[in-house]
Amino acid sequence: MSEQPQFSIKIDQNKYLPEGGREVHAVVSVESTGSPTGVSQPASAAEVIIIDTSGSMSYPDTKLRAAIAAAQVAVDTLRDGVFFAVISGANTAKMVFPQQTTLVRADATTRQQAKQALSRLQAQGGTAIGSWLRLADQLFDAHQEGIRHAILLTDGKNQHETAEELDAVLYRCTGRFVCDCRGVGTDWEVAELRKVSSALLGSVDIVADPQGLVADFQAMTEAAMGKAVADVALRVWTPQTAKLRFVKQVMPTVQDLTGKRTESGPQAGDYPLGAWGAESRDYHICVEVSPGEVGKELRAGWVKLVVPGAAGAEDEILATGNVLVQWTDDEAASTRINPRVAHYTGQAELADAIQEGLQARKDGDEDTATARLGRAVKLAEEAGNDEITSLLRKVVDVVDPATGTVRLKKNVEKADEMSLDTRSTKTVRTRKGEG
Amino acid sequence: MRACPNCGEGVFEGEGFCEACGHPLTAEATAAVQAGRVAREGVTAKVLPAGRPGTRPTRRTEPKSPRPACTECGATAIDADGYCEHCGMRQPAERDHIEIELPGSVAAGASDRGRRYARNEDFLALAAHSGGIAAVVCDGVGSSPHPDDASRAAAETGVAELAARFGSGAAPEEATCDAALKAAEAVAALAESPSDAPSCTYVSALTYADPATGTPAVTVGWVGDSRAYWLGGGGSDAASEQLTQSEQLTQDDSWAAFMVAEGALTEAEAEAHPNAHVITAWLGADADEVRPRVRTFSPGGPGAVLVCSDGLWNYAPKPQDLVAVLAGAACDPALDPLGAARTLVRFALEAGGRDNISVAVVPVAIGTVAPDPVTPNTEHAP
């Protein structure tokens, strides 16, 4: 990786705590600026495309035809030299291209062969997502040094293996590759696919209309090709007596990383951030510290962006930042609310409110559903999250957005409900009228 | 330049003792210490040559060990940014709390960031000359850019110039005035433009023996609202009585002092006014012509000159208040200047520490205790 992107960390917070104050919040903005041109590419990249070929994919047949077309466009989007394979998934996973269990280099010939192999796919059998991921993991095994990305497309529930089997595979695959998941149609389970994408640091989205798949696959592959650094981690050091309450990605989506910690040194843990191209993401960190005397200043968190070194090699530190605390008896200082912390706190709550509201609606608990979705309308309005506001309006009739007064709609399209659920974690950077 | 074998501070060829920790560096110096002449003689020759500009006082911080301990938890892992790698507490910056003492306890000072400000914008400097001490305290004006640079430049330039000018034969008033003007030049030179002018107050005290009478004298000079006081008494029969002879030697260049002098407001009214701390003179590129005010006094008995920033006197404006603080701690400034400086800084911190606090204490000994209290001799018009 000769021309690695330049990384920077910016911290937004109010460091002032009142006397006896314990809890400090900060928004950590990580930005990478790409290498000047696309000329110099990372040492290696590997891509596996996983297409659901269960029987339901041919009801209607447009689903399979659209999936094949989308996968073919994705293959065309691979640049020369990228190692790739295409897998079909049903009760078990099978190699579509190449035939042997390995990745091949992309060039004009292999791309053509892969597209031909895709065109011959038939839909038959059930859905066992864990087995598909296990095969992908096996393929990535020889390519752990570079960028490793998979696309998983499914249209159904994971019916032909147990939840425990899927969990075991996800545990095994965590950190081994990044996987973006797409659900086509409306017969798949949002929570299930979100679990997969979240474990594998990827995105999840609904493609209700199969016609939308081609553009989506192309965009995903292009984004994967734009990644220049694999396996970036956020290393957070905290004082010995402090407790790291949570680490959440809050931009571009809400993703709780707290449970993904691996210890990386004295008082420090690493949170995996996946692969990076030229992009920016924001993280919300909350640390609980032991109160100090007025006037004292504490480093409550020392945040470093690292690429952990391979066995024996030194970790590479890309950028650092400090989360600070200073105790003060100046109330004006300690009660000031940092606008970005407030903004993202609201959006994290927004995702929770939507998911809880939709679940309550499914469970027939209309009071809770009305209250939670009403709260969501208010939060989306405050945050200026227009996409979520418009998705919410397909599920509820808004009486007053400012107070969050809503009525549940009687007839809601399944696709609208699933879109809202899937996209509930998408955040926007600033409020309307700001910055 | 080589390093002191004791503390690692840089030392120069020909120096008998380390300036940072006082460790003897030469065979002669070691012999002097062993012979009981102790540091004073050796250091006096080195640290206190008459009028040597830039003479550095002994810094009373602990000798630097290779791994300093955290002031909060004691762990010996301080990272390059100044935070403890164990408990995370930021270690005091060098200027957060400074204590200095001239060898032989002939003068001392302490300066502290206080409890409200993120940094210490005061600076204090001490130097010895052939017949006494020069002390300068400067308080960076918070509304100006880089006030910490201004106060440091002014104090260091002022004290060096004061000791040098007096040492080379200038009259004390003339040396005091010239030193303040030189300090003003140094501060003005920091400005990138008149609208971007670092600025600070200035107060100096020079102690010496009056050439005509041989009795001790004090000349103070100031611009702004940093002050000098005489803390009289100590060592006499009725110490507690004598201390009441203390008095303020400077008159603030401030709105409040002006209103009181004009008879427009009473002292209490002026101090309660929001403008009370607005200063009417300062050093800086944006200042009017700098006209240092200079006064000379003859102490009538032993005592000490106190030079301080408003971070101290805000909490104890009357000389009697300051004397009471020291008496409460059983501290005689004439005998223990460092102890007195520390006591006063601690008092201001405990009272709230809303500003940076700087205090210099210069004892004035007297051979025969004269009956007169402190009497102003002259006011020098520059």
* Partner-chain contact B88 A294, CB within 8 Å: no
Q: Which residues of A259-288 are buried (b: 16+ CB within 10 A; e: fewer)?
A: ebbeebeebbbbbbbbbbbebebbbbbbbe
Query: Helix H segments across chain B?
Result: 27-34, 38-47, 147-167, 172-188, 239-242, 255-261, 267-272, 310-313, 319-328, 337-350
Nearest Cα residue to A287 out of A250, A243, A320:
A243
CB A42, CB A2: distance < 8 Å: no
Using CA coordinates, name the residue in chain B closest to A239: B87
Average pLDDT for residues A300-327, to the nearest whole number?
Answer: 90
State yes or no: pLDDT of B302 exceeds 90.
no
pLDDT (0 to 100) of residue B118: 77
Which is higher by pLDDT, B174 or B19? B174
pLDDT in tens, A198-220: 999 999 999 988 889 999 999 99
Average pLDDT for residues B159-184, to the nearest whole number?
Answer: 96
State yes or no: pLDDT of A326 exceeds 70.
yes
* Partner-chain contact B116 A300, CB within 8 Å: no
Average pLDDT for residues A114-136, to the nearest whole number?
Answer: 97
DSSP state of B83: B
pLDDT (0 to 100) of residue A135: 98
Using DSSP bridges, classify how beta strands A147-154 and A93-97 pair: parallel, antiparallel or unpaired. Answer: unpaired
pLDDT in tens, B335-376: 999 999 999 999 999 998 989 999 999 999 865 433 344 555
Half-sphere exposure of B272 (CA within 13 A, CB side): 5
Which chain B residues have a beta carbon less than 8 Å from that of A298? 83, 87-90
Which chain B residues have a beta carbon less than 8 Å from that of A328? 116
Query: Helix H segments across B170-238?
Result: 172-188
State yes or no: pLDDT of B166 exceeds 70.
yes
* Partner-chain contact A299 B81, CB within 8 Å: yes
Average pLDDT for residues B291-303, to the nearest whole number?
Answer: 90
Q: Which residues of A59-73 are buried (b: 16+ CB within 10 A; e: fewer)?
A: eeeebbbbbbbbbbb
Contacts by A410-414, CB closer than 8 A, 24 or more apart: A414/A186
With residue A181 as reference, give the H or E element that holds it: strand A178-184
Q: What are phi and psi of A407, to 5 degrees?
A: -125, 140
- Rounded to the nearest integer, the mean pLDDT of chain A is 92
Q: Count other C-beta atoms under 10 Å from residue A414's C-beta.
A: 11
**Tokens representing A80?**
């020369």
Which chain A residues have a beta carbon less than 8 Å from that of B311? none
* Partner-chain contact A242 B72, CB within 8 Å: no
Interface of A with B in 327-346 (CB under 8 A): 328-330
Round to whole Å and give the CA distance between A161 and A146: 31
Round to whole Å and give the CA distance between A74 and A68: 10
* Residue B24 region by backbone torsions, left for phi larger than 0, else alpha for psi between -120 and 50, else beta: beta
- CB proximity B379 to A under 8 Å: no
- CB proximity A297 to B under 8 Å: yes
State yes or no: pLDDT of B67 exceeds 90.
no
**A72: helix, coil or strand?**
helix
CB B84, CB B75: distance < 8 Å: yes
- CB proximity B115 to A under 8 Å: yes
CB B332, CB B326: distance < 8 Å: yes
* Partner-chain contact A298 B88, CB within 8 Å: yes
* Partner-chain contact A240 B87, CB within 8 Å: yes
State yes or no: pLDDT of A141 exceeds 60.
yes
Interface of A with B in 305-324 (CB under 8 A): 322
State yes or no: pLDDT of A7 exceeds 60.
yes
Q: Which of A307-311, A416-420, B1-5 has the lowest mean pLDDT?
A: B1-5
pLDDT band at A282 (very low <50, low <70, confident <90, very high): very high
Q: CA–CA distance from A399 to each of A9, A407, A408 (Å)?
A: 41, 7, 11
* Partner-chain contact A300 B88, CB within 8 Å: yes
pLDDT band at B4 (very low <50, low <70, confident <90, very high): low
Round to whole Å and give the CA distance between A49 and A177: 12
DSSP state of A426: B
Q: How many CB pairs under 8 A join A and B?
A: 49
- CB proximity A19 to B under 8 Å: no
DSSP state of B75: -
Q: Residues near A384 by Cβ (< 8 Å), separated by ≥ 6?
A: A428, A430, A431, A432, A433, A434
Q: What are chain A's domains?
A: 6-36+230-329 (2.60.40.3670), 45-225 (3.40.50.410), 339-425 (1.20.120.1690)
CB B310, CB B248: distance < 8 Å: no
Q: Residues near A318 by Cβ (< 8 Å), separated by ≥ 6?
A: A7, A229, A232, A304, A305, A306, A307
* Residue A295 region by backbone torsions, left for phi larger than 0, else alpha for psi between -120 and 50, else beta: left
pLDDT (0 to 100) of residue A153: 96
pLDDT (0 to 100) of residue B214: 82
pLDDT in tens, A144-157: 989 999 999 999 99
- CB proximity B103 to A under 8 Å: no
Q: Which of A217-221, A326-330, B42-46 has the lowest mean pLDDT?
A: B42-46
pLDDT in tens, B274-291: 777 789 999 999 888 999
pLDDT band at B115 (very low <50, low <70, confident <90, very high): confident
* Partner-chain contact A300 B353, CB within 8 Å: no
* Partner-chain contact B89 A294, CB within 8 Å: no
Residue A395 is which amino acid? V
**B135: helix, coil or strand?**
strand
Q: Count other C-beta atoms under 10 Å from residue A105's C-beta.
A: 13
- Rounded to the nearest integer, the mean pLDDT of chain B is 80
* Partner-chain contact B88 A296, CB within 8 Å: no
* Partner-chain contact B89 A242, CB within 8 Å: no
Nearest Cα residue to A260 out of A175, A172, A173:
A175
State yes or no: pLDDT of B6 exceeds 90.
no
- CB proximity B89 to A under 8 Å: yes
Q: What are chain B's domains?
A: 2-47 (no CATH), 99-380 (3.60.40.10)
State yes or no: pLDDT of A193 exceeds 80.
yes
Q: Among B83, B114, B118, select the one facing A299 at the smallest CB separation.
A: B83
Interface of A with B in 202-261 (CB under 8 A): 237-242
pLDDT band at A33 (very low <50, low <70, confident <90, very high): confident
**Tokens representing B14?**
């020909």
Round to whole Å and give the CA distance between B198 and B207: 29
CB A404, CB A375: distance < 8 Å: yes
Q: Length of chain A in residues, anyone?
A: 435
State yes or no: pLDDT of A43 exceeds 80.
no
State yes or no: pLDDT of B165 exceeds 50.
yes
